[in-house]
Amino acid sequence: MDIQQSRQSDEADLQRAYVHLAEAQRLSHTGSFTWDFDRGELLWSEELCRIFEFDPATTVTTDRVGQYVHPDDLPAFAAVLEGAAAGRDIDFPYRIITASGVLKHLHAVGHRIEHDADRPVIIGAVQDVTERRVAEEALSRARAELAHVARVATLSALTASIAHEVNQPLTSLVTNASTCLRMLAADPPNLELAHTTAQRTIRDANRASDVIARLRAMFVRKDGAVEAVDVNGAAAEVLALSSSELQRTQVDLRSDFASDLPNIRGDRIQLQQVVLNLVLNARDAMLAVDKRPRTLKVSTKVDDTGQVLLSVRDAGSGIAPDRLDRLFDTFFTTKSEGMGVGLSISRSIIQSHGGRLWAANNADGLGATFSFSIPLAGADGEGTHDD
Ligand code: ADP
């Protein structure tokens, strides 16, 4: 082969490699770039231009790229440029809005290599992750939807008990209001008793409206509201809502709440949903128990590692060892009317708070205890006490 032929074959190889690379970039929605700071040169692959809807013939500058970065991501974009110039690696998820108005989720990675004569050059890749991100968002919406449906379904099981909860103060309110009227109509009017019964009327009305407010909070969907949560208070509200139902099924409810429990950060309603699931499961597990008291104990404490721990202990059927792992699988149920989603949703709620939810049979062989622990740093990784 003479030199001429050899060069032609090298060029053909190079051309093939280039076509393969361009095809691989297109298939994986990944573009590449090199960035020479000193010369202010930014070289983009065809795929990267396609992602940004740039004409490959035009000159790309960081300013021009910045014009398409989503306004909310601009400060982070500026920080990444600054970091890259200072020699730091790039690992940056961000969004752009292209000239035709399309929102895209991108992920850029890059690192610095020393080029000719110590001239630093950044070499990197940008992947269009829009499809994956959209699928993730749809999945998380579907999960939230399912959690909401499960919550409403669980609360529906409490309807009779809740109606009783609202009815009690209403009945008492009507009695007190009529007594008050009678005291005022008496001759002479008994103002002192009228005053007392009027006060009782107000107290009863407040009790009824408290129950409704609690219910409304749990039924109405509120997504991702992260706040300081007093786990004792949140659990006490759930117990108040379910207490008539527990009484109806002869469950002896006890609670042992640590008085020095620090707040965690999280979604109060979601955590209440977990407690409600655990309490109603404990009740279900004791329905068949007749020969011993149906004792249900809800306790809270700070555990050895400083996390907030809540446990629900029952004296029910206990859990067969081969089921211990499967309880948390979605759609695993042993109940004829069960949906089998309560524990799996509860576990994902606790995990989204950075915590753990687990089950164990009681040491005395009677019943099981479900517990969760949540680190004080909580869902958004900051603060502990009430703020
Ligand atoms: P469901 O209550 O609709 O069955 P869950 O996901 O809440 O769905 O519970 C799944 C299964 O875990 C239940 O069907 C039951 O077999 C078991 N389980 C849950 N809590 C307890 C408990 N306290 N004691 C014994 N088994 C339990």
The angle, 0 to 180 degrees and rounded to 10, between the axes of the packed helices 231-248 and 191-219 is 100
Residues 245, 158: contact at Cβ < 8 Å? yes
Residue 221: its pLDDT value, please? 56
Average pLDDT on 259-277 reads 91
CA of 279 to the centre of ligand 1 (A): 11
Which of 276, 327, 337 is the best mutation target for the ligand 1 pocket, counting ligand atoms within 8 Å of the beta carbon and taking the most? 327
Residue 361 backbone dihedrals phi, psi, to 5 degrees: -75, 150
Residues 327, 343: contact at Cβ < 8 Å? yes
Share of the chain above pLDDT 90, in %: 52
Of residues 114 and 242, which shows the higher confidence score? 242
Task: Write down the CATH number for the domain with range 3-128.
Answer: 3.30.450.20
User: Which residues have any ligand 1 atom within 6 Å of their CB?
Assistant: 277, 281-282, 285, 314, 316-317, 319, 327, 332-335, 338-344, 368, 370
The pLDDT tens digits of the residues spanning 314-325 come to: 999 999 998 988
Residue 302: its pLDDT value, please? 96
CA of 335 to the centre of ligand 1 (A): 8
- Ligand 1 atom closest to 334 (CA): 14
Distances (CA, A) of 260 to 305, 321, 372, 376: 15, 35, 18, 13
List the domain boundaries for the chain.
Answer: 3-128, 138-374
Which of 333, 345, 372 is the best mutation target for the ligand 1 pocket, counting ligand atoms within 8 Å of the beta carbon and taking the most? 333
Residue 177 has pLDDT above 50, yes or no: yes
Q: What's the predicted TM-score (pTM) here?
A: 0.66
Which segments of the chain are extended strands (E)? 30-36, 41-44, 90-97, 103-114, 120-128, 227-229, 251-257, 264-266, 294-302, 308-313, 356-361, 368-374
Closest CA to 22 of 41, 42, 44, 54: 44
Closest CA to 161 of 276, 271, 240, 273: 240
Closest CA to 298 of 279, 316, 317: 279
Task: Write down the CATH number for the domain with range 138-374.
Answer: 3.30.565.10
- Classified as helix, coil or strand, 260 is coil
Most confidently modeled range among 119-123, 183-187, 238-242: 183-187
CA of 331 to the centre of ligand 1 (A): 10
**Alpha-helical runs (H) found in 1-73:** 3-27, 46-52, 62-66
* Residue 252 β-bridge partners: 295
Residues 269, 218: contact at Cβ < 8 Å? yes
To the nearest whole number, what is the mean pLDDT of the chain? 87
Of 161-165, 177-181, 240-244, 322-326, minimum mean pLDDT range: 161-165
Average pLDDT on 14-24 reads 86
For the chain, the distance separating the N- and C-terminal CA atoms, rounded to the nearest angstrom, is: 80
**Alpha-helical runs (H) found in 186-267:** 191-219, 231-248
